[in-house]
Amino acid sequence: MAAATGPRTARSETVRWDVQLTPHEQERLLIHVAADVAEKRRARGLKLNHPEAVALITSHILEGARDGRTVAELMASGRKLLTRDDVMEGVPEMIHDVQVEATFPDGTKLVTVHEPIV
């Protein structure tokens, strides 16, 4: 059987991404995708579950570090991001600390948000 030649239709085209990501980059991408899903669910009025809440807080810290905010600022703002009304019952009791190794303009630092959901 001969292969078809000529212009492809939009229906038959396949977009292929040959992106080589390190495990670290894959983890960061997964966090941001999960946080995006969580933010959309939150905007629709849904209460977030444990993984969604952690992803949202983690993404907030990673982006804040990228923006040049300080560790102290991120520790404080991380506690104001979600309230008990934003998450499912029992989630605040499950999350005591969120620790994120974030890249700041002056290097990598560990940011710990204690009791992030009040």
DSSP output for 70-113: -HHHHHHHHTTSB-GGGB-TTHHHH-SEEEEEEEETTEEEEEEE
Q: Give the span between the Cα atoms of 34 and 51, in whole angstroms.
A: 8
Helix %, strand %, coil % of the chain (to 5):
45, 15, 40
Q: Classify 55 as helix, strand or coil.
A: helix
Walk me through the domains of the chain, giving residue ranges and CATH numbers: 23-114 (3.30.280.10)
Question: pLDDT by residue for the chain (118 residues), tens digit each?
Answer: 454 455 555 566 778 778 899 999 999 999 999 999 999 999 999 999 999 999 999 999 999 999 999 999 999 999 999 999 999 999 999 999 999 999 999 999 999 999 999 9
